Amino acid sequence: MTTQTSNIAQTTGQFYIDGRWQSPARSTTLSVINPATEEIIAEVAQGSSQDVDRAVAAARAAFPNWAATPVADRALIVGKIHELMLERKEALAQVLCLEMGAAIGFARSMQVPLAAEHVRVARDVLTSYHFQHVENGTAIVREPIGVCGLITPWNWPLYQITAKVAPAIAAGCTVVLKPSELSPLSALLFAQLVHDAGLPAGVFNLVNGGGAEVGAAMAVHPEIDMISITGSNRAGALVAQAAATTVKRVTQELGGKSPNILLPDADFAKAVPPGVMSAFRNVGQSCSAPTRMIVPRNRLAEVEALAAATANAIIVGDPLSEETVLGPIANEAQFKRVQAMIEAGLDEGAKLLCGGPGRVAGFEKGFYTRPTVFSHVSTGMRIAQEEIFGPVLCIIPYDTVDEAVAIANDTVYGLGAHVQGQDLDQARAVAARIRAGQVLLNYPAWNPMAPFGGYKRSGNGREYGVHGFEEYLEIKAIVGFE
C-alpha cells in the first residue's frame, strides 16, 4: 500500500470544505467494507444538512471570482489536477481495489486512466471553447450556471467524479460533491489531489453521507443552481422531485439494459467473446453494459458455445492478484440483488449455460459471483427487463432484423447499445433505429469526446466532451450588441 493510500486515515473523519479539511457537525460515521473480505476498512464521517449548508456557502462565496478567472488560469489548474492524477495513479488504483473490489489490473488500466482522461478533456475543451458569438446583432453568451451539486455512484467512483467535477470547474462553476457512501475513499484522495493542484478555496467541496440526508439536502438547497446525479432510477427520481421546488437544473445518468445486436453477417467468432467481456466489464457493474446479446436464431448454438467458453475462462478472485479479471461484487446489497436475479432467471425457464447462483468455488467470504450466461431468454423475462448490475448475460434469439430492433427497444431504458456487422451501411441503419443515447458499432475504441447519456428512463442531459461541458453553462442573449 502506498503512503498516499495509507494517509486516507487522516481525512476519513473530515470533510473538505472551503479549501481545508474540517470536522463534521456531528460525530456519526459510516463503515466502508472491503467486498473481498467483508471486513471494515475505514469509518468515514457521515454528513448532515448543516455540513451541506457550510459547503454550499463556501461554494457560493467562491463562485464570482472563479467564474471571472481567465480561461488560461482555469485551464492551468485543471491541467495540474490531470498531472497529479497520473502521478498518483497507483494510490488511486489501490484504493479502488479496496473500497469496491475492482481487480487491480482493471483499476490500473481502466478505472484510473479513463477518469484522468475526463480531466484532460475538460481542460482541452475549455481552452478551445467559444463562450460568445454574435448572430444578427445579438451576442449569444454562455456563462457558468453557478453552484453545482454533484452526486456520484459506487460502481465507477473516481471516473464518475471526474466526469462531473472536471467540466463543472472548467466551465467556471463551483461544486459540492457527495460521493457514494459505499465507496468514498477514492473521493478523499481526489479532494486532497485537488487541494494540492492549487484550486482556490471553495471551488471544490466534499461532504460524505447517504442520499437520504446529504443528497436530499443538496437537492432542495436554494443556493445550489444545478444537480448532476449518476445512480439508480429511484435515486434519480427522488432527487428530481426534491429539486423541483427550487426549479434548478437536474441532469441524470441512471439505469440501463443495453442491447448488443449481432447482425446475420457478423463474424461471430470475433463478435461474441468481446460482447461477453463488455457485458462483464467491472463485474457487470456498469449502467451501459451490453447485457442483452440479441442474435440470429439459426446461429444460437454457435453463440452459446462461444459465450460459455468465454465466460468459463474468466478468472474471478482476489482483486489484488495480477491474474484476476473480475473481483467481487462491490457490496453486500448488490451481491444479494444479483443472486436473486440469477434465481429469477432459473425460475422463469431461461437456459443456464454457465455460472449460476452461489459464490465462486473456493471463496467462503467476499461477494464473489459466478459469471453467468443465460440463453433462450424471452424479452418479457425479468432478467431481460431489469437492470441486474452484475456478471449476468442474457442471449435472446431473433428471426428478422426488424425483430432484433424491436427487442433492443423493448425496455424502459435507453442509455447505450451495440451493433455488430460487417456491412457498415446496414449496421448504421440499425443504429439509427435504436432508441439509446449512445450506439457503438463493432466495438470501437472508447471516445471521451462522445456525448454519453440516456433516452427514456435512463435519464436526461449528457456527459463527456463538449456536450458534457455545456451542461454546466447558461445561455444569455444580449440583443442590440452591435
Q: Which residues are catalytic?
A: 253, 287
H-run or E-run covering 206? strand 204-206
Number of Cβ within 10 Å of residue 244's Cβ equals: 12
Q: Which three cell numbers mark 207?
A: 461532504
H-run or E-run covering 473? strand 473-478
Region of 325 on the Ramachandran plot (φ > 0 left; ψ -120 to 50 alpha; else beta): alpha
Q: Is 292 exposed, middle or buried (0-12, 13-18, 19+ CB in 10 A)?
A: buried
Type of residue numbered 225: D
Polymer length of the chain: 482
Cα–Cα dist 473/471, whole Å: 6
3-state secondary structure of 469: helix
Radius of gyration of the chain (CA): 23
204 has which bridge partners? 175
Directed axis angle between helix 185-196 and helix 89-100, to 10°?
A: 160
Cα–Cα dist 127/82, whole Å: 15
Cα–Cα dist 347/466, whole Å: 46
